[in-house]
């Protein structure tokens, strides 16, 4: 009898790394197995921008309780369920015979997470999933707690470094031409991220205000923010309170140009990234960031926080890079006046620096995170579990 596999993930309005990895894994496994995608809609349409963190958690909990029996019925006939977040993983271990927990998210480690949510994750849900799941696949080694690494549960951990579709990235990178509206705004900073608390967006907007105040007479770079999420309206209100002119559409301002553009979720952010003067990634905590990989692929200068996920990614490719590559800076998170000064000086240094050569070295180095490098590892893991 043919084995059936289900890939189960949470469906947000703002598709991010989890959905990309889930859909890429679906393509990989569909070549050999019968695979279905099961998405779990957390928020009602239109709630992503306005919902607070506490409201999102409460909605998730209520929907989970309401739909647990329906979802269990849906997945009980599968031979293997691959889950991309904690709620699907919990449903899976209560229902299916074999299951894989793909640990990509990092929001539970964020410094502003509530005490209750941290206890819920650290002392209830995480041990439960780790104990009963068949295998754990972390996006990055730091996502596995030291306590787990020192126990027999470490045998369940399978390190498969990414599933980045480099062929698709290459196609987008080479196909897109620079639109006229991009050329008109001049030099700009690009920030591509979900607009949620642990991504550091609020802190970077405040930092950007300080950058404008310090370098306003030097034709400062503008800021393009790509992404959607619960903090979108908060970010806009912050810009207004800081008296930063912002807009949502590059075509609406023929006479006056905003300094910050909120362009929302973008299916193909590559042409915004590759034409930027600088890509910034101020996240407080990360797994393995698709957005940072896209920026590295485009060979633009990068400033990112030195959180474990970013450091793992940069350290993995740094040994193969040349001195001619555009700079990659890992700086402290934006949680102090000292770190803010470091960031402002680094941004100005890159804005006034000599342009770097565009080399393909970074693209070659990223191959270790590609579909072609890791698809066999996934198929081998699934074969063993089936």
Are the CB atoms for 357 and 313 separated by under 8 Å?
no
Distance between CA atoms of 187 and 18, rounded to whole angstroms?
A: 31
Indicate whether this model's pTM tops 0.75: yes
Nearest to 347 by CA among 250, 284, 276: 276
The full set of domains in the chain, from first to last, is: 4-163+371-385 (3.40.50.2000), 166-368 (3.40.50.2000)
Q: What pLDDT, on a 0 to 100 scale, did the predictor assign at position 280?
A: 97
Phi, psi of 10 (to 5 degrees): -80, 135
Q: What pLDDT, on a 0 to 100 scale, did the predictor assign at position 45?
A: 47
Residue with tokens 């709630």: 47
Distance between CA atoms of 297 and 178, rounded to whole angstroms?
A: 17
**Contacts of residue 72, Cβ cutoff 8 Å, sequence gap at least 6:** 91, 94, 95
Residue 263 three-state SS: strand
- In 143-252, the DSSP E strands lie at 188-192, 222-226, 246-247
Nearest to 232 by CA among 271, 258, 268, 193: 193
Q: What pLDDT, on a 0 to 100 scale, did the predictor assign at position 43?
A: 54
Q: What is the pLDDT along the chain (386 residues), one digit of tens a residue?
A: 688 999 998 776 555 678 888 889 999 999 999 999 988 765 554 454 445 555 555 656 666 666 777 788 888 889 999 998 887 888 888 887 799 999 886 555 544 556 666 676 767 788 888 889 999 999 888 888 887 888 888 999 999 988 888 888 888 877 656 666 676 778 899 999 988 888 999 999 999 999 999 877 677 899 999 988 888 999 999 999 999 999 887 766 555 678 999 998 887 888 899 889 999 999 998 888 888 999 988 888 999 999 988 999 888 877 665 555 567 889 999 999 999 999 999 998 888 875 655 555 677 778 888 898 899 999 999 999 99
Are the CB atoms for 200 and 227 separated by under 8 Å?
no
Name the token pair of 158.
Answer: 């399978």
Q: What residues form DSSP beta bridges with 280?
A: 303
Residue 214 three-state SS: helix
């Amino acid at each position: 009898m043919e084995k059936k596999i289900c890939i189960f993930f949470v469906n947000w309005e703002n598709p991010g790394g989890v959905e990309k990895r889930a859909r890429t894994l679906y393509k990989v496994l569909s070549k050999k197995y019968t695979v279905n995608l099961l998405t779990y809609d957390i928020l009602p349409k239109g709630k992503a921008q306005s919902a607070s963190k506490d409201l999102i958690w409460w909605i998730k909990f209520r929907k989970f309780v309401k739909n647990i029996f329906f979802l269990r019925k849906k997945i009980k006939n599968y031979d293997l369920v691959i889950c991309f977040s904690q709620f699907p993983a919990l449903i899976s271990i209560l229902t299916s015979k074999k299951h894989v927990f793909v640990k990509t998210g990092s929001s539970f480690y964020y410094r502003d997470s509530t005490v209750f949510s941290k206890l819920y994750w650290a002392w209830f849900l995480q041990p439960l999933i780790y104990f009963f799941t068949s295998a754990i696949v972390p996006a990055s080694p730091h996502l596995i707690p030291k306590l787990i690494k020192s126990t027999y549960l470490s045998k369940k951990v399978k390190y498969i470094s990414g599933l980045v579709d480099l062929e698709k990235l290459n196609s987008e990178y080479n196909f897109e031409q620079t639109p006229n509206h991009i050329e008109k705004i001049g030099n700009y900073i690009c920030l591509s991220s979900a607009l949620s608390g642990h991504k550091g967006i609020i802190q970077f907007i405040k930092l950007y205000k300080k950058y404008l105040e310090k370098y306003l007479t030097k034709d400062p770079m503008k800021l393009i923010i790509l992404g959607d999420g619960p903090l979108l309206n908060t970010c806009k209100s912050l810009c207004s309170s800081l008296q930063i002119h912002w807009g949502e559409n590059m075509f609406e301002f023929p006479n006056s140009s905003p300094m910050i553009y909120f362009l929302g979720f973008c299916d193909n952010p590559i042409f915004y990234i590759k034409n930027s003067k600088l890509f910034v990634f101020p996240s407080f905590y990360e797994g393995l960031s698709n957005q940072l990989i896209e920026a590295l692929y485009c060979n633009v200068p990068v400033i990112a926080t030195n959180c474990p996920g970013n450091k793992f990614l940069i350290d993995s490719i740094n040994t193969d890079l040349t001195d001619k590559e555009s700079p990659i800076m890992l700086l402290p998170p934006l949680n102090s006046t000292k770190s803010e000064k470091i960031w402002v000086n680094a941004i100005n240094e890159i804005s006034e620096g000599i342009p770097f050569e565009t080399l393909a070295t970074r693209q070659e180095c990223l191959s270790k995170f590609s579909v072609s490098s890791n698809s066999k590892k996934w198929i081998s893991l699934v074969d063993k579990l089936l």
